[in-house]
Structure 1
Amino acid sequence: MVTNIDGGTTSNVHPLKFSLWLIIISILMMFGAFTSAYIVRREEGNWLEFDLPGMFLVNTVIIVLSSVAMQWAYVAAKKNNLNMVKLMVGLTMVLGIAFLYGQLNAWGDLVANNVYFGGSESNPAGSFLYVLTGVHGFHLVTGLIFLLIVLISSLKFKVHSKNMLRIQLCTTYWHFLGALWLYLYFFLQVNH
């Protein structure tokens, strides 16, 4: 806390950190609304029961591993191990892309089992599943863009113990995306 001229206190939170937390809170509210709507709509009946794609479990492991790699990159940056930063941010990106590829395969499994999004052949159960996983996938793409920015910065030696903001924000967002997927996966397992 910093004392200002008027004798009051102000927070010394970096504006980008504050903005990131606002984004995270808004995403949480959106997914809270989606999952609430899912529960309410399911109780109304006409709900198609089907097995979740097995790829969801594989993707859960992938996203946890990516979060470990991201944390490793963050710790390496604090220790000025710049080669490890580059390696672990790159690995996080590869695992993030593998996650998205897995989601596309999971959607392919859904289509193969006649579970569609929208249209006359669809059921709300399938539509909700596509929305939940698709919107998470969109946010994961934004995370990959953020990772690419951090990777490029690390290649220019702009990520190190004296310049941690980029990697700190990226690590926070990436861990959030991983936690959000874990929530969605377990929510779908329990409520499907």
Structure 2
Amino acid sequence: MLENMHPYKTLVYLGMFGSGLIFLFMAAAFIASQPDEEIYSQYNIPRSFVLSSIVLLISTYTASKILPSYVKDDTRKLKNFLLSTFLLGLCFTGLQFFGWMELSKMGIDFRGLPSGSFLYVLSGIHIFHLVGAMGFALMLIIHVQKCSNDHVKKLILLSNPYDRMRFQLFSTYWKFMDFVWLFLFLLFIWMF
């Protein structure tokens, strides 16, 4: 099956698999590093993490509308959904930094308990992956904008299987990263 896929699809799917393994093993280490006593029961999950999770759920919706907009030849909606997803990703990233500040104010810092360090590492690795997707989103937004003003380029954009695959891969990867965050968020809720 892999040999029949386009090389970019293969790379993205293998990358998602590898990233999933990284998060899975890091989550297992996070669980194993939990202190015996209920030290975190005195803390609440950072509000910024809750807000960022809501933002990411909204971005899942906008990312799911990218490919249908492409299929319907609606470049305006395509660009708007790409831009919305990108901006929601920026908002999520900012809220993650606020969440780190909240953790720090609670006394959970990177140098303390190993499980506290894992909070920063897990959310930081997730941000790193999401920033890569946001860079790709920005590239797609610019590409759609350039093609929107020229009817020939627009026709090529909307009929090119390679472009369709790029929008599909972006949407798939974004939803995968949303799923990873929701998994991590549930893990953090369990801790708090």
TM-score by length of 1: 0.87
Match of 2:32 in 1: 40
Match of 1:111 in 2: 104
Match of 1:4 in 2: none
Conserved? CA contact 2:53–2:182, under 8 Å? yes
Equivalent-residue separation in structure 2 for 1:123 and 1:51 (angstroms): 17
Match of 2:49 in 1: 56
Alignment of 1:41-190 (within 5 A): 41-42=33-34, 45=36, 48-49=39-40, 50-118=43-111, 122-157=112-147, 159-162=157-160, 163-190=163-190
**Larger RCO (CA under 8 A, 6+ residues apart):** 2
Q: Which consecutive residues of structure 2, in runs of 5 or more, have no partner in the other structure?
A: 148-155
Structure whose residues are more often helix by fraction: 2
Q: Secondary structure at the residue paired with 1:189?
A: helix
Equivalent-residue separation in structure 2 for 1:180 and 1:14 (angstroms): 25
Equivalent-residue separation in structure 2 for 1:115 and 1:168 (angstroms): 39
How far is 1:136 from its partner?
0.5
Equivalent-residue separation in structure 1 for 2:175 and 2:157 (angstroms): 19
Q: Which consecutive residues of structure 1, in runs of 5 or more, have no partner in the other structure?
A: 2-9
Equivalent-residue separation in structure 1 for 2:157 and 2:15 (angstroms): 23
- What is the one-letter code of the residue matched to 1:33? F
Match of 1:6 in 2: none
Conserved? CA contact 2:108–2:116, under 8 Å? yes
* CA RMSD, 1 decimal: 1.8
Conserved? CA contact 2:86–2:134, under 8 Å? yes
Conserved? CA contact 1:47–1:124, under 8 Å? no
Conserved? CA contact 1:47–1:125, under 8 Å? no
Q: Secondary structure at the residue paired with 1:160?
A: helix
Equivalent-residue separation in structure 1 for 2:58 and 2:157 (angstroms): 22
Identity over the aligned pairs, expressed in percent?
28
Q: Secondary structure at the residue paired with 2:65?
A: helix
Aligned residues: 180
Conserved? CA contact 2:31–2:115, under 8 Å? no
Q: Secondary structure at the residue paired with 1:67?
A: helix
Equivalent-residue separation in structure 2 for 1:34 and 1:48 (angstroms): 20
| 1:28 equivalent in alignment to 2:26 | no
Q: Secondary structure at the residue paired with 1:175?
A: helix
- What is the one-letter code of the residue matched to 1:177? M
How far is 1:161 from its partner?
4.7
